[in-house]
């Protein structure tokens, strides 16, 4: 659906986006994750044809954005971080206005997006009277009024309270069943709760791109198995576990009563059955064995160490 090739954009001497390439498939919820200043917003503005690239191309459904940006805008619904709403208008009047600008028969379509975005109860309220969460929903209704196949959302839960965040996340997941969604965020739980796939960007460059559950391998990090046993000292446990294929290291863990060890495992190797077999064959008593999977937060910190350079998002 979307193919990005060598996209580059600078502001003066600062390179906000530096030669990035990726594709987004139909029906996928893709998270663009990175620290503040990583280049997320600049990337989304170029995808939405609101900002021209210095170099590279954006191709949407076979159409080059440089050749026909108006056609691309018709295919995309874009919600900026701060939704550009007319605060003095009623929600209904505002959406009717947007429908008229788009050349869409208003009442039926406005009713449909109001239902989808769950704003029917505030349709006759002034936009300035709404909570931030409802304003985000109105902005999303604006982005969806022309029924685009692609939604691009920039920090969609920024500034919301916890209840509003959950509601917007659930709405995005529902929309992802019918549309292709790209969202940017610097909030890790946002990606874990919402996205099928994660593109991590730092200092304008892509540092990881994979499905959430596969990023552990992409980041070159290890998962860890924590065991607590009695009947053997740490040296004996370490010697036995080090010989298991896929085990990279065995380190002691604090425990005043039991022998505890943290076993680092390469990639996706499954070592737990062999750990259990060794414990059982030596007649050690096992009190705990748990897998401490590398979290997205660990991967994010590993790949973006040192922070972002610059102030453009």
Q: Is residue 301 part of a domain?
A: no
Contact 153, 172 (CB under 8 A): yes
Mean pLDDT of 12-29: 94
Mean pLDDT of 238-265: 93
Signed CA dihedral, 67, 69, 308, 197: sign only: negative
Q: Which domain holds residue 147?
A: 2-217
Better pLDDT: 211 or 23: 23
CA distance 304 to 70: 35
Residue 247 has pLDDT above 80, yes or no: yes
Is residue 93 domain-shared with residue 202, that is, in the same domain? yes
Report the DSSP pairing between strands 259-265 and 223-230. antiparallel
- The number of folded domains in the chain is 2
Is residue 209 domain-shared with residue 239, that is, in the same domain? no
Signed CA dihedral, 160, 74, 175, 25: sign only: negative
Contact 34, 14 (CB under 8 A): no
CA distance 24 to 133: 27
CATH number for the domain spanning 201: value is 3.40.50.300
Is residue 212 domain-shared with residue 248, that is, in the same domain? no
CB atoms within 10 A of CB 121: 10
Tell me, yes or no, if the pTM score tops 0.85: no
Residue 294 has pLDDT above 60, yes or no: no
Is residue 130 domain-shared with residue 18, that is, in the same domain? yes
Q: Is residue 85 part of a domain?
A: yes
Contacts of 162 by beta carbon, 8 Å cutoff, 6+ apart: none
Is residue 248 domain-shared with residue 151, that is, in the same domain? no
Residue 304 has pLDDT above 90, yes or no: no
Residue 194 has pLDDT above 70, yes or no: yes
Q: Residue 214: what pLDDT?
A: 61
């Amino acid at each position: 659906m979307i193919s990005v090739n060598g996209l580059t954009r600078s502001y003066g001497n600062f390179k906000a986006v530096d030669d990035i390439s990726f594709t987004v498939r139909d029906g996928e919820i893709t998270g663009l994750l990175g620290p503040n200043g990583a280049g997320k917003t600049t990337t989304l503005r170029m995808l939405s044809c609101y900002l021209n690239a210095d170099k590279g191309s954006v191709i949407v459904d076979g159409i080059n954005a440089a050749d026909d940006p108006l056609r691309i805008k018709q295919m995309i619904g874009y919600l900026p971080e701060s939704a550009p709403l007319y605060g003095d208008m009623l929600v209904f009047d505002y959406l009717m206005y947007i429908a008229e600008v788009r050349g869409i028969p208003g009442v039926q379509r406005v009713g449909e997006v109001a239902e989808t975005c769950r704003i029917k109860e505030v349709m006759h309220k002034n936009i300035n009277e709404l909570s931030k969460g409802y304003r985000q929903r109105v902005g999303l209704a604006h982005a969806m009024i022309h029924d685009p196949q692609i939604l691009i959302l920039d920090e969609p839960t920024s500034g919301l309270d916890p209840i509003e965040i959950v509601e917007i996340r659930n709405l995005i997941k529902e929309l992802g069943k019918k549309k292709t969604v790209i969202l940017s965020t610097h909030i890790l739980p946002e990606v874990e709760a919402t996205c099928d796939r994660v593109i991590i960007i730092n200092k304008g460059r892509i540092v990881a791109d994979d499905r959430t559950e596969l990023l552990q391998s992409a980041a070159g990090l290890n998962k860890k198995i924590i065991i607590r046993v009695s009947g053997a000292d740490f040296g004996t446990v370490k010697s036995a576990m080090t010989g298991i294929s896929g085990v990279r290291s065995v380190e002691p863990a604090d425990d005043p009563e039991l022998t505890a060890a943290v076993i680092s495992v390469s990639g996706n190797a499954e070592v737990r059955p062999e750990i259990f077999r060794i414990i059982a064959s030596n007649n050690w008593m096992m009190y705990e064995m748990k897998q401490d999977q590398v979290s997205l937060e660990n991967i994010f910190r590993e790949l973006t160490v040192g922070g972002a350079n610059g102030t453009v998002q």
